[in-house]
Structure formats: C-alpha cells, structure tokens
Amino acid sequence: MKADKPERYLGPAGRAQAERDAKAKAEKFKPVKLPPKMVVAYVAQSMARSFKRATKGLVPRKRIARRTTTRAAEERSYLKESRADRAGKRCAVFPHLMADQTHHIYGRRGKLLLWRPGWLHVSQRGHDFIRDFPIEAKAKGWLCPDGKWNDQSVTTKTS
C-alpha cells in the first residue's frame, strides 16, 4: 500500500502566495447580498422564463365543468320546486320550528334529486339531528336503510 504523499514544502514565500491566492478566490466567489425586493423580482423573472419555455407550443387545456348543463338545469328546477313545496311547512324533526331546508332521505344522485317522496322538509336543527344521530333518524324514517343511499332503483318502486 502506498503511503500518503507528504505535504509539499512551499517555504515562506510560497506559503504567502498560496494564502493570497486563496483570499482572491474567496473574494471572487463571495455571495452578494441583494435587497429582498431585487431577489423577489429576479426569482419572478426566472420563473416566468422557465414557464414560458416549458409551455412553448402547448395548447391551453379546456376547463372541465363542475356539472353538466343537464344537471345544472335539474338543480335550478329543484331549487324552485323545493322552495315552493316547503313554503309555510313545519320541520318534520322539530315541529315547533319552520322548515327552511329540504333533506333528501335517499340522497341526491341522478333522479333522486327531483324525486318528491324522498324529500323531507326540515329546519337546520332538524338537519343537524339527522346527521348527528343516524340510528334514531333511520328508526323514524328520516334516513334510508343501510345500503340504499343514492340507490336510484328506489324511485321506480315507490313513484
């Protein structure tokens, strides 16, 4: 095995020159302190250039609609019908309160949204009760049995 090389003897003049070289090198690569605004501007420019390069020649994506036009029409229709249907009615859970919401016993998917036998007019407190106490709500018929949530086959049996 080779022994490590002994450090080269530079002498006093050589050592002084090596120190000057190291100092000059450190000065050359000394980090520059910029004001924060300049740093932010530089980073923003750099990101803009990168984004421009990355997206060059790409076609912008089309936004995906949250709901179809058919579903949006159904929801508008539902809002009108449910408001008219619950006007002046009392809450099914707490009869001393007025109904201000429509609870969907079987869910809202597809045909269930406009299926009136699945509607229950409730107050906010009534809605909270149904959500917080599902066992009692199922026993009273305010919530569907297990496995029937958003099951649209229910509409054909009772309608």
Are residues 110 and 153 in contact, defined by beta-carbon separation less than 8 angstroms? no
The pLDDT of residue 100 is 94
Specify the pLDDT at position 7.
63
Pseudo-torsion of CA 117, 119, 125, 126, nearest 10°? 10
Q: What is the pLDDT along the chain (159 residues), one digit of tens a residue?
A: 555 555 666 677 777 888 888 888 777 776 767 777 877 888 888 888 887 777 777 777 788 888 899 999 999 999 999 999 989 999 999 999 999 999 999 999 999 999 999 999 999 999 999 999 999 999 999 999 999 899 888 888 654
Q: Where are the domains of the chain?
A: 13-50, 69-158
Instruction: Identify the pLDDT of residue 40.
Output: 81
Terminal alpha carbon distance of the chain: 94
For residues 14 and 18, give the distance between their C-alpha atoms in angstroms, rounded to a whole number. Answer: 6
- Beta carbons of 119 and 105 less than 8 angstroms apart: yes
pLDDT confidence of residue 9: 64
